[in-house]
Structure 1
Amino acid sequence: MYHPTVARLTYRALLGRRRALILCALPALLLVVAAAVRAMNGADDAVTSQLLGGFALATLVPLIGVIAGTGAIGPEIDDGSVVYLLSKPVSRPSVIVTKLIVATGTTAVFSAVPVLVAGFILNGNSQQLAVAYALAAAAASIAYSALFLLLGTVSRHAVVIGLVYALIWEALIGSLVPGAKTLSVQQWALALAEKVAGSGADVNSAVALPTALVLIVVVTVGGTLFAGQKLRTLTLAGEE
Protein backbone atom coordinates (compact mmCIF):
# COMPACT_ATOMS: atom_id res chain seq x y z
CA MET A 1 0.00 0.00 0.00
CA TYR A 2 2.94 2.36 0.57
CA HIS A 3 3.94 4.16 -2.63
CA PRO A 4 7.44 5.75 -2.61
CA THR A 5 6.71 8.26 -5.37
CA VAL A 6 3.55 9.52 -3.65
CA ALA A 7 5.50 9.72 -0.39
CA ARG A 8 8.28 11.74 -1.98
CA LEU A 9 5.84 14.21 -3.52
CA THR A 10 3.96 14.54 -0.24
CA TYR A 11 7.12 15.16 1.78
CA ARG A 12 8.16 17.79 -0.74
CA ALA A 13 4.81 19.56 -0.39
CA LEU A 14 4.75 19.33 3.42
CA LEU A 15 8.30 20.51 3.90
CA GLY A 16 8.09 23.45 1.54
CA ARG A 17 9.48 26.73 2.83
CA ARG A 18 6.33 28.18 4.44
CA ARG A 19 5.12 24.98 6.11
CA ALA A 20 8.64 24.05 7.21
CA LEU A 21 9.01 27.39 8.98
CA ILE A 22 5.76 26.84 10.89
CA LEU A 23 6.62 23.23 11.66
CA CYS A 24 9.98 24.32 13.10
CA ALA A 25 8.65 27.40 14.92
CA LEU A 26 6.14 25.52 17.08
CA PRO A 27 8.63 23.01 18.57
CA ALA A 28 11.18 25.81 18.98
CA LEU A 29 8.62 27.75 21.02
CA LEU A 30 8.08 24.72 23.28
CA LEU A 31 11.83 24.33 23.87
CA VAL A 32 12.27 28.05 24.63
CA VAL A 33 9.38 27.98 27.10
CA ALA A 34 10.74 24.80 28.69
CA ALA A 35 14.18 26.35 29.14
CA ALA A 36 12.68 29.51 30.64
CA VAL A 37 10.48 27.55 33.03
CA ARG A 38 13.42 25.41 34.15
CA ALA A 39 15.53 28.52 34.74
CA MET A 40 12.82 30.13 36.85
CA ASN A 41 11.46 27.12 38.75
CA GLY A 42 14.18 24.49 38.66
CA ALA A 43 13.25 20.84 38.19
CA ASP A 44 9.59 20.49 39.13
CA ASP A 45 7.57 17.40 38.19
CA ALA A 46 4.20 19.12 38.60
CA VAL A 47 5.21 22.03 36.38
CA THR A 48 6.60 19.58 33.83
CA SER A 49 3.26 17.78 33.63
CA GLN A 50 1.37 21.04 33.33
CA LEU A 51 3.53 22.27 30.46
CA LEU A 52 3.79 18.99 28.53
CA GLY A 53 0.18 18.00 29.12
CA GLY A 54 -1.51 21.38 29.10
CA PHE A 55 0.48 23.05 26.34
CA ALA A 56 2.31 20.43 24.30
CA LEU A 57 -0.40 17.75 24.06
CA ALA A 58 -3.35 20.13 24.10
CA THR A 59 -2.05 22.74 21.65
CA LEU A 60 1.28 21.95 20.00
CA VAL A 61 0.55 18.41 18.80
CA PRO A 62 -2.91 19.13 17.30
CA LEU A 63 -1.62 22.27 15.56
CA ILE A 64 1.22 20.32 13.96
CA GLY A 65 -1.31 17.62 13.10
CA VAL A 66 -3.45 20.20 11.30
CA ILE A 67 -0.50 21.40 9.24
CA ALA A 68 0.71 17.91 8.34
CA GLY A 69 -2.66 16.17 7.97
CA THR A 70 -4.43 18.76 5.85
CA GLY A 71 -1.23 19.66 4.01
CA ALA A 72 -0.70 16.07 2.89
CA ILE A 73 -3.61 16.23 0.45
CA GLY A 74 -5.74 19.36 0.84
CA PRO A 75 -3.67 21.68 -1.39
CA GLU A 76 -3.56 19.07 -4.18
CA ILE A 77 -7.35 18.86 -4.16
CA ASP A 78 -7.75 22.65 -3.98
CA ASP A 79 -5.48 23.41 -6.96
CA GLY A 80 -6.57 20.38 -8.98
CA SER A 81 -3.13 18.78 -9.13
CA VAL A 82 -4.56 15.65 -7.49
CA VAL A 83 -6.08 14.87 -10.91
CA TYR A 84 -2.57 14.37 -12.27
CA LEU A 85 -1.73 11.99 -9.42
CA LEU A 86 -4.94 10.01 -9.79
CA SER A 87 -4.40 9.65 -13.54
CA LYS A 88 -1.37 7.49 -12.80
CA PRO A 89 -1.61 3.73 -12.21
CA VAL A 90 -1.71 4.11 -8.43
CA SER A 91 -4.64 2.81 -6.40
CA ARG A 92 -6.48 5.48 -4.48
CA PRO A 93 -6.34 3.58 -1.18
CA SER A 94 -2.58 3.41 -1.67
CA VAL A 95 -2.48 7.18 -2.09
CA ILE A 96 -4.38 7.71 1.17
CA VAL A 97 -2.35 5.17 3.17
CA THR A 98 0.92 6.65 1.92
CA LYS A 99 -0.15 10.18 2.75
CA LEU A 100 -1.28 9.04 6.21
CA ILE A 101 2.13 7.49 6.86
CA VAL A 102 3.88 10.67 5.74
CA ALA A 103 1.58 12.91 7.78
CA THR A 104 1.96 10.72 10.87
CA GLY A 105 5.73 10.61 10.55
CA THR A 106 5.95 14.37 10.07
CA THR A 107 3.65 15.09 13.01
CA ALA A 108 5.53 12.69 15.28
CA VAL A 109 8.96 14.07 14.39
CA PHE A 110 7.92 17.69 14.94
CA SER A 111 5.97 16.97 18.13
CA ALA A 112 7.10 13.81 19.94
CA VAL A 113 10.82 14.54 19.60
CA PRO A 114 10.57 18.15 20.89
CA VAL A 115 8.30 16.95 23.73
CA LEU A 116 10.95 14.41 24.71
CA VAL A 117 13.70 17.05 24.65
CA ALA A 118 11.51 19.52 26.56
CA GLY A 119 10.84 16.89 29.21
CA PHE A 120 14.55 16.34 29.75
CA ILE A 121 15.11 20.10 29.94
CA LEU A 122 12.31 20.54 32.49
CA ASN A 123 13.08 17.75 34.95
CA GLY A 124 15.67 15.39 33.46
CA ASN A 125 13.01 12.73 32.76
CA SER A 126 12.17 12.40 36.45
CA GLN A 127 9.32 9.87 36.92
CA GLN A 128 9.69 9.04 33.21
CA LEU A 129 7.64 12.13 32.34
CA ALA A 130 9.68 13.03 29.24
CA VAL A 131 9.32 9.53 27.80
CA ALA A 132 5.67 9.25 28.84
CA TYR A 133 4.61 12.47 27.17
CA ALA A 134 6.73 11.79 24.08
CA LEU A 135 5.00 8.43 23.60
CA ALA A 136 1.65 10.13 24.17
CA ALA A 137 2.51 12.72 21.51
CA ALA A 138 3.46 9.95 19.08
CA ALA A 139 0.16 8.14 19.71
CA ALA A 140 -1.80 11.36 19.28
CA SER A 141 0.06 12.01 16.02
CA ILE A 142 -1.52 8.90 14.50
CA ALA A 143 -5.09 9.89 15.35
CA TYR A 144 -4.65 13.56 14.44
CA SER A 145 -3.06 12.70 11.09
CA ALA A 146 -5.95 10.41 10.13
CA LEU A 147 -8.53 12.93 11.33
CA PHE A 148 -7.04 15.93 9.53
CA LEU A 149 -6.20 13.94 6.40
CA LEU A 150 -9.89 13.03 6.20
CA LEU A 151 -10.79 16.68 6.75
CA GLY A 152 -8.48 17.65 3.90
CA THR A 153 -10.36 15.36 1.52
CA VAL A 154 -13.87 16.52 2.42
CA SER A 155 -13.52 20.30 2.81
CA ARG A 156 -11.79 23.17 1.07
CA HIS A 157 -11.69 24.91 4.45
CA ALA A 158 -9.84 22.07 6.17
CA VAL A 159 -7.15 24.28 7.70
CA VAL A 160 -9.64 26.71 9.24
CA ILE A 161 -11.83 23.90 10.58
CA GLY A 162 -8.75 22.07 11.86
CA LEU A 163 -7.49 25.16 13.67
CA VAL A 164 -10.88 25.71 15.29
CA TYR A 165 -10.90 22.06 16.38
CA ALA A 166 -7.34 22.22 17.72
CA LEU A 167 -7.65 25.53 19.57
CA ILE A 168 -11.22 25.30 20.83
CA TRP A 169 -12.04 21.62 21.20
CA GLU A 170 -8.69 20.10 22.16
CA ALA A 171 -7.09 23.02 23.97
CA LEU A 172 -10.23 24.29 25.71
CA ILE A 173 -13.36 22.14 25.71
CA GLY A 174 -11.61 18.75 25.66
CA SER A 175 -9.39 19.82 28.54
CA LEU A 176 -12.02 21.37 30.79
CA VAL A 177 -15.49 19.97 30.09
CA PRO A 178 -15.90 16.54 31.76
CA GLY A 179 -18.31 15.03 29.24
CA ALA A 180 -16.25 16.14 26.25
CA LYS A 181 -13.02 14.66 27.55
CA THR A 182 -13.95 11.18 26.38
CA LEU A 183 -13.94 12.45 22.79
CA SER A 184 -10.62 14.29 23.10
CA VAL A 185 -7.52 12.86 21.42
CA GLN A 186 -5.48 14.65 24.06
CA GLN A 187 -7.16 12.60 26.80
CA TRP A 188 -6.56 9.37 24.88
CA ALA A 189 -2.88 10.25 24.64
CA LEU A 190 -2.77 11.19 28.32
CA ALA A 191 -4.03 7.71 29.19
CA LEU A 192 -0.85 6.29 27.64
CA ALA A 193 1.32 8.87 29.43
CA GLU A 194 -0.37 8.01 32.72
CA LYS A 195 0.38 4.32 32.24
CA VAL A 196 4.05 4.91 31.37
CA ALA A 197 4.68 7.45 34.14
CA GLY A 198 2.97 5.35 36.80
CA SER A 199 0.64 6.17 39.66
CA GLY A 200 3.17 8.33 41.49
CA ALA A 201 3.37 10.90 38.71
CA ASP A 202 1.05 13.87 38.32
CA VAL A 203 -0.46 12.58 35.06
CA ASN A 204 -4.20 12.02 34.86
CA SER A 205 -6.52 11.10 32.02
CA ALA A 206 -10.30 11.07 31.97
CA VAL A 207 -10.21 7.96 29.75
CA ALA A 208 -9.04 4.46 30.70
CA LEU A 209 -6.13 3.14 28.63
CA PRO A 210 -8.02 0.25 26.94
CA THR A 211 -10.78 2.65 25.87
CA ALA A 212 -8.22 5.21 24.70
CA LEU A 213 -6.39 2.66 22.53
CA VAL A 214 -9.64 1.43 20.99
CA LEU A 215 -10.71 5.00 20.19
CA ILE A 216 -7.34 5.80 18.60
CA VAL A 217 -7.66 2.72 16.40
CA VAL A 218 -11.27 3.53 15.49
CA VAL A 219 -10.45 7.13 14.53
CA THR A 220 -7.35 6.11 12.58
CA VAL A 221 -8.94 3.25 10.66
CA GLY A 222 -12.27 5.00 10.21
CA GLY A 223 -10.67 8.25 9.05
CA THR A 224 -8.44 6.41 6.59
CA LEU A 225 -11.33 4.40 5.14
CA PHE A 226 -13.57 7.44 4.76
CA ALA A 227 -10.76 9.45 3.18
CA GLY A 228 -10.12 6.62 0.73
CA GLN A 229 -13.82 6.44 -0.10
CA LYS A 230 -13.95 10.20 -0.66
CA LEU A 231 -10.93 10.04 -2.94
CA ARG A 232 -12.64 7.31 -4.97
CA THR A 233 -15.53 9.69 -5.68
CA LEU A 234 -13.22 12.22 -7.32
CA THR A 235 -13.55 11.89 -11.09
CA LEU A 236 -10.94 12.76 -13.66
CA ALA A 237 -11.66 14.92 -16.65
CA GLY A 238 -13.23 12.79 -19.34
CA GLU A 239 -14.42 10.06 -16.97
CA GLU A 240 -18.08 9.12 -17.12
Structure 2
Amino acid sequence: MNTTVARLTVRGLLGRRRGVLLLVVPALLLLISVISTGSSGDKHDLTVKILGQLSLGTLVPILGLVVGTGAIATEIDDGSIVYLLAKPLPRWKIVTTKLAVAIGTTWVIAGIPTFVAGLILYGTKDNLALAYTVGTLVAGAVYSALFLLLGVVTRHAVVAGLAYALVWESLIGNFVEGARTLSVQQWGLSVARTVAADGAIDADVALAAAVPLLVVVTVAATVLASVKLAGFTLAADE
Protein backbone atom coordinates (compact mmCIF):
# COMPACT_ATOMS: atom_id res chain seq x y z
CA MET A 1 0.00 0.00 0.00
CA ASN A 2 1.40 3.38 -1.03
CA THR A 3 -0.18 6.28 0.85
CA THR A 4 0.47 8.83 -1.91
CA VAL A 5 -1.18 6.67 -4.56
CA ALA A 6 -4.06 5.91 -2.19
CA ARG A 7 -4.63 9.58 -1.44
CA LEU A 8 -4.64 10.54 -5.12
CA THR A 9 -7.00 7.68 -5.93
CA VAL A 10 -9.48 8.67 -3.21
CA ARG A 11 -9.39 12.27 -4.40
CA GLY A 12 -10.06 11.17 -7.96
CA LEU A 13 -12.90 8.83 -7.00
CA LEU A 14 -14.77 11.20 -4.72
CA GLY A 15 -14.31 14.31 -6.80
CA ARG A 16 -16.20 15.62 -9.81
CA ARG A 17 -19.51 14.05 -10.83
CA ARG A 18 -18.43 10.55 -9.85
CA GLY A 19 -18.76 11.36 -6.17
CA VAL A 20 -22.38 12.41 -6.67
CA LEU A 21 -23.21 9.19 -8.52
CA LEU A 22 -21.63 7.14 -5.75
CA LEU A 23 -24.06 8.69 -3.28
CA VAL A 24 -27.16 8.69 -5.49
CA VAL A 25 -27.20 4.94 -6.16
CA PRO A 26 -27.18 3.73 -2.52
CA ALA A 27 -29.56 6.54 -1.58
CA LEU A 28 -31.99 5.14 -4.14
CA LEU A 29 -31.74 1.69 -2.54
CA LEU A 30 -32.55 3.13 0.89
CA LEU A 31 -35.43 5.18 -0.50
CA ILE A 32 -36.97 2.13 -2.18
CA SER A 33 -36.55 0.14 1.03
CA VAL A 34 -38.35 2.78 3.09
CA ILE A 35 -41.19 3.01 0.59
CA SER A 36 -41.48 -0.78 0.44
CA THR A 37 -42.05 -1.11 4.16
CA GLY A 38 -45.65 -0.11 3.55
CA SER A 39 -46.20 -3.05 1.21
CA SER A 40 -48.72 -5.68 2.26
CA GLY A 41 -46.91 -8.54 0.50
CA ASP A 42 -44.62 -11.18 1.93
CA LYS A 43 -41.79 -9.36 3.72
CA HIS A 44 -39.29 -12.15 3.18
CA ASP A 45 -39.85 -12.31 -0.58
CA LEU A 46 -39.76 -8.52 -0.83
CA THR A 47 -36.47 -8.37 1.07
CA VAL A 48 -34.92 -11.09 -1.07
CA LYS A 49 -35.95 -9.29 -4.25
CA ILE A 50 -34.68 -5.89 -3.17
CA LEU A 51 -31.44 -7.04 -1.58
CA GLY A 52 -30.76 -9.84 -4.05
CA GLN A 53 -31.80 -8.26 -7.32
CA LEU A 54 -31.56 -4.54 -6.71
CA SER A 55 -28.62 -4.38 -4.32
CA LEU A 56 -26.44 -7.39 -5.12
CA GLY A 57 -27.62 -7.71 -8.71
CA THR A 58 -27.64 -4.04 -9.76
CA LEU A 59 -26.21 -1.69 -7.13
CA VAL A 60 -22.95 -3.57 -6.58
CA PRO A 61 -22.02 -4.06 -10.28
CA ILE A 62 -22.75 -0.40 -11.07
CA LEU A 63 -20.77 0.90 -8.12
CA GLY A 64 -17.98 -1.59 -8.81
CA LEU A 65 -17.86 -0.35 -12.40
CA VAL A 66 -17.78 3.33 -11.47
CA VAL A 67 -15.20 2.83 -8.73
CA GLY A 68 -13.08 0.15 -10.40
CA THR A 69 -12.67 1.97 -13.69
CA GLY A 70 -12.46 5.36 -12.02
CA ALA A 71 -9.54 4.22 -9.87
CA ILE A 72 -7.20 4.13 -12.86
CA ALA A 73 -8.93 4.55 -16.24
CA THR A 74 -9.36 8.31 -15.85
CA GLU A 75 -5.65 8.79 -15.17
CA ILE A 76 -4.76 6.71 -18.21
CA ASP A 77 -7.19 8.63 -20.43
CA ASP A 78 -6.01 12.10 -19.41
CA GLY A 79 -2.34 11.11 -19.32
CA SER A 80 -1.80 11.91 -15.64
CA ILE A 81 -0.79 8.28 -15.04
CA VAL A 82 2.62 9.30 -16.39
CA TYR A 83 3.40 11.02 -13.09
CA LEU A 84 2.85 7.79 -11.17
CA LEU A 85 4.77 5.71 -13.68
CA ALA A 86 7.70 8.11 -13.44
CA LYS A 87 8.07 7.41 -9.73
CA PRO A 88 10.27 4.54 -8.50
CA LEU A 89 7.26 2.41 -7.61
CA PRO A 90 6.66 -1.17 -8.73
CA ARG A 91 3.68 -1.24 -11.08
CA TRP A 92 2.08 -4.00 -9.01
CA LYS A 93 2.11 -1.74 -5.97
CA ILE A 94 0.28 0.96 -7.92
CA VAL A 95 -2.37 -1.56 -8.99
CA THR A 96 -2.81 -3.17 -5.58
CA THR A 97 -3.04 0.21 -3.85
CA LYS A 98 -5.68 1.43 -6.27
CA LEU A 99 -7.53 -1.86 -5.94
CA ALA A 100 -7.50 -1.61 -2.15
CA VAL A 101 -9.01 1.88 -2.37
CA ALA A 102 -11.58 0.72 -4.93
CA ILE A 103 -12.63 -2.26 -2.79
CA GLY A 104 -12.81 -0.17 0.38
CA THR A 105 -14.90 2.48 -1.37
CA THR A 106 -17.25 -0.12 -2.84
CA TRP A 107 -17.66 -1.76 0.56
CA VAL A 108 -18.60 1.50 2.23
CA ILE A 109 -21.03 2.76 -0.40
CA ALA A 110 -22.61 -0.63 -1.13
CA GLY A 111 -22.18 -2.73 2.01
CA ILE A 112 -23.45 -0.24 4.58
CA PRO A 113 -26.58 0.78 2.61
CA THR A 114 -27.35 -2.90 1.94
CA PHE A 115 -27.19 -3.71 5.65
CA VAL A 116 -29.31 -0.70 6.57
CA ALA A 117 -31.84 -1.54 3.84
CA GLY A 118 -32.03 -5.09 5.16
CA LEU A 119 -32.75 -3.84 8.68
CA ILE A 120 -35.44 -1.49 7.38
CA LEU A 121 -37.12 -4.23 5.36
CA TYR A 122 -36.78 -7.29 7.59
CA GLY A 123 -34.95 -6.42 10.76
CA THR A 124 -32.48 -9.03 11.97
CA LYS A 125 -34.71 -12.04 11.17
CA ASP A 126 -33.09 -14.98 9.36
CA ASN A 127 -29.83 -13.00 9.25
CA LEU A 128 -30.93 -11.69 5.85
CA ALA A 129 -29.48 -8.20 6.32
CA LEU A 130 -26.10 -9.57 7.41
CA ALA A 131 -26.10 -12.30 4.76
CA TYR A 132 -26.69 -9.97 1.84
CA THR A 133 -24.15 -7.54 3.25
CA VAL A 134 -21.50 -10.27 3.30
CA GLY A 135 -22.49 -11.28 -0.23
CA THR A 136 -22.20 -7.66 -1.28
CA LEU A 137 -18.71 -7.38 0.20
CA VAL A 138 -17.29 -10.44 -1.55
CA ALA A 139 -18.96 -9.61 -4.87
CA GLY A 140 -17.85 -5.98 -4.57
CA ALA A 141 -14.22 -7.04 -4.24
CA VAL A 142 -14.41 -9.16 -7.41
CA TYR A 143 -16.22 -6.48 -9.40
CA SER A 144 -13.65 -3.89 -8.33
CA ALA A 145 -10.79 -6.10 -9.51
CA LEU A 146 -12.46 -6.97 -12.81
CA PHE A 147 -13.39 -3.41 -13.67
CA LEU A 148 -10.00 -2.05 -12.61
CA LEU A 149 -8.49 -4.56 -15.06
CA LEU A 150 -10.81 -3.26 -17.77
CA GLY A 151 -9.67 0.26 -16.94
CA VAL A 152 -6.09 -0.78 -17.66
CA VAL A 153 -6.62 -2.86 -20.80
CA THR A 154 -9.12 -0.71 -22.71
CA ARG A 155 -10.06 2.92 -23.12
CA HIS A 156 -13.69 1.82 -23.39
CA ALA A 157 -13.76 0.31 -19.92
CA VAL A 158 -17.14 1.76 -18.94
CA VAL A 159 -18.84 0.50 -22.10
CA ALA A 160 -17.25 -2.93 -21.74
CA GLY A 161 -18.15 -3.06 -18.06
CA LEU A 162 -21.76 -2.11 -18.72
CA ALA A 163 -21.97 -4.78 -21.41
CA TYR A 164 -20.65 -7.35 -18.96
CA ALA A 165 -22.94 -6.26 -16.11
CA LEU A 166 -26.08 -5.94 -18.22
CA VAL A 167 -25.63 -8.73 -20.75
CA TRP A 168 -23.76 -11.42 -18.83
CA GLU A 169 -24.74 -10.83 -15.21
CA SER A 170 -28.30 -9.55 -15.62
CA LEU A 171 -29.40 -11.36 -18.77
CA ILE A 172 -27.39 -14.50 -19.44
CA GLY A 173 -26.45 -15.14 -15.81
CA ASN A 174 -30.06 -14.97 -14.65
CA PHE A 175 -31.73 -16.92 -17.45
CA VAL A 176 -29.13 -19.41 -18.72
CA GLU A 177 -28.60 -22.00 -16.01
CA GLY A 178 -25.12 -23.14 -17.09
CA ALA A 179 -23.82 -19.57 -17.18
CA ARG A 180 -24.68 -18.94 -13.56
CA THR A 181 -21.55 -20.77 -12.46
CA LEU A 182 -19.54 -17.90 -13.94
CA SER A 183 -21.69 -15.13 -12.46
CA VAL A 184 -20.19 -12.95 -9.73
CA GLN A 185 -23.70 -12.25 -8.47
CA GLN A 186 -24.31 -15.96 -7.98
CA TRP A 187 -21.01 -16.34 -6.14
CA GLY A 188 -22.08 -13.58 -3.78
CA LEU A 189 -25.46 -15.24 -3.29
CA SER A 190 -23.74 -18.53 -2.51
CA VAL A 191 -21.74 -16.90 0.28
CA ALA A 192 -24.83 -15.05 1.52
CA ARG A 193 -26.77 -18.32 1.69
CA THR A 194 -24.28 -19.75 4.19
CA VAL A 195 -24.74 -16.76 6.50
CA ALA A 196 -28.54 -16.64 6.35
CA ALA A 197 -30.90 -19.05 8.09
CA ASP A 198 -31.51 -22.36 6.33
CA GLY A 199 -33.69 -21.92 3.26
CA ALA A 200 -33.79 -18.13 3.52
CA ILE A 201 -31.72 -17.52 0.37
CA ASP A 202 -31.50 -19.54 -2.82
CA ALA A 203 -28.26 -19.77 -4.81
CA ASP A 204 -27.44 -21.80 -7.92
CA VAL A 205 -23.70 -22.15 -7.24
CA ALA A 206 -22.30 -24.35 -4.47
CA LEU A 207 -20.08 -22.68 -1.90
CA ALA A 208 -17.27 -25.11 -2.74
CA ALA A 209 -17.21 -23.67 -6.26
CA ALA A 210 -18.05 -20.04 -5.41
CA VAL A 211 -15.21 -19.39 -2.95
CA PRO A 212 -12.35 -20.63 -5.19
CA LEU A 213 -13.82 -18.71 -8.13
CA LEU A 214 -14.06 -15.53 -6.06
CA VAL A 215 -10.41 -15.83 -5.04
CA VAL A 216 -9.05 -16.93 -8.42
CA VAL A 217 -10.83 -14.22 -10.43
CA THR A 218 -9.82 -11.45 -8.01
CA VAL A 219 -6.17 -12.53 -7.94
CA ALA A 220 -6.03 -13.16 -11.70
CA ALA A 221 -7.54 -9.76 -12.51
CA THR A 222 -5.06 -8.05 -10.19
CA VAL A 223 -2.08 -9.88 -11.68
CA LEU A 224 -3.18 -9.19 -15.26
CA ALA A 225 -3.71 -5.51 -14.48
CA SER A 226 -0.22 -5.33 -12.95
CA VAL A 227 1.34 -7.06 -15.97
CA LYS A 228 -0.49 -4.78 -18.39
CA LEU A 229 0.50 -1.65 -16.48
CA ALA A 230 4.09 -2.89 -16.35
CA GLY A 231 4.03 -2.90 -20.15
CA PHE A 232 3.21 0.81 -20.29
CA THR A 233 6.06 3.11 -21.22
CA LEU A 234 6.32 6.82 -20.52
CA ALA A 235 6.60 7.53 -24.21
CA ALA A 236 3.45 5.56 -24.94
CA ASP A 237 1.55 7.20 -22.10
CA GLU A 238 2.44 10.65 -23.29
Q: Give the corresponding residue for 2:145.
A: 146
Q: After the TM superposition, list the runs of 4 or more consecutive aligned residues in structure 1 that deviate by more than 4 angstroms.
A: none
Determine if the alignment matches structure 1 residue 94 to structure 2 residue 100. no
- Alignment partner for residue 219 of structure 1, among 217, 220, 228? 217
Q: Give the corresponding residue for 1:233.
A: 231
Give the Cα–Cα distance (whole angstroms) in 2 for the partners of residues 180 and 173 of structure 1. Answer: 7
Determine if the alignment matches structure 1 residue 56 to structure 2 residue 55. yes
Q: How does 1:1-240 map to 2 (within 5 A)?
A: 2-41=1-40, 44-201=43-200, 203-237=201-235
Letter in 2 for 1:78: D
Give the Cα–Cα distance (whole angstroms) in 1 for the partners of residues 236 and 150 of structure 2. Answer: 26
- RMSD (Å) for aligned C-alpha atoms: 1.4
Residue by residue over 1:189-210, the C-alpha shift from the partner in whole angstroms, topping out at 9 and shown as x without a partner, is: 0001111003231x11111112
Letter in 2 for 1:4: T
Give the Cα–Cα distance (whole angstroms) in 2 for the partners of residues 238 and 58 of structure 1. Answer: 37
Q: Tell me the percent identity.
A: 53
Letter in 1 for 2:216: V
Give the Cα–Cα distance (whole angstroms) in 1 for the partners of residues 79 and 236 of structure 2. Answer: 14
Give the Cα–Cα distance (whole angstroms) in 2 for the partners of residues 139 and 205 of structure 1. Answer: 15
Letter in 2 for 1:215: L
Residue by residue over 1:89-114, the C-alpha shift from the partner in whole angstroms, topping out at 9 and shown as x without a partner, is: 11110000000100001111111111
Structure 1 residue 43, shift from structure 2 partner: 7.1
Give the Cα–Cα distance (whole angstroms) in 2 for the partners of residues 64 and 172 of structure 1. Answer: 18
Question: Are the structure 2 counterparts of residues 88 and 32 from structure 1 closer, same or farther at C-alpha, using a change threshold of 3 Å?
Answer: same
Q: Secondary structure at the match of 2:147?
A: helix
Structure 1 residue 176, shift from structure 2 partner: 2.0
Residue by residue over 1:146-183, the C-alpha shift from the partner in whole angstroms, topping out at 9 and shown as x without a partner, is: 10000000000001111121122212221221011001
Give the Cα–Cα distance (whole angstroms) in 2 for the partners of residues 190 and 238 of structure 1. Answer: 42
Residue by residue over 1:105-150, the C-alpha shift from the partner in whole angstroms, topping out at 9 and shown as x without a partner, is: 1111111111000000001121000000000000001100110000
Give the Cα–Cα distance (whole angstroms) in 1 for the partners of residues 179 and 236 of structure 2. Answer: 46
Gaps of 5+ in 2: none
TM-score norm. by structure 2 comes to 0.96
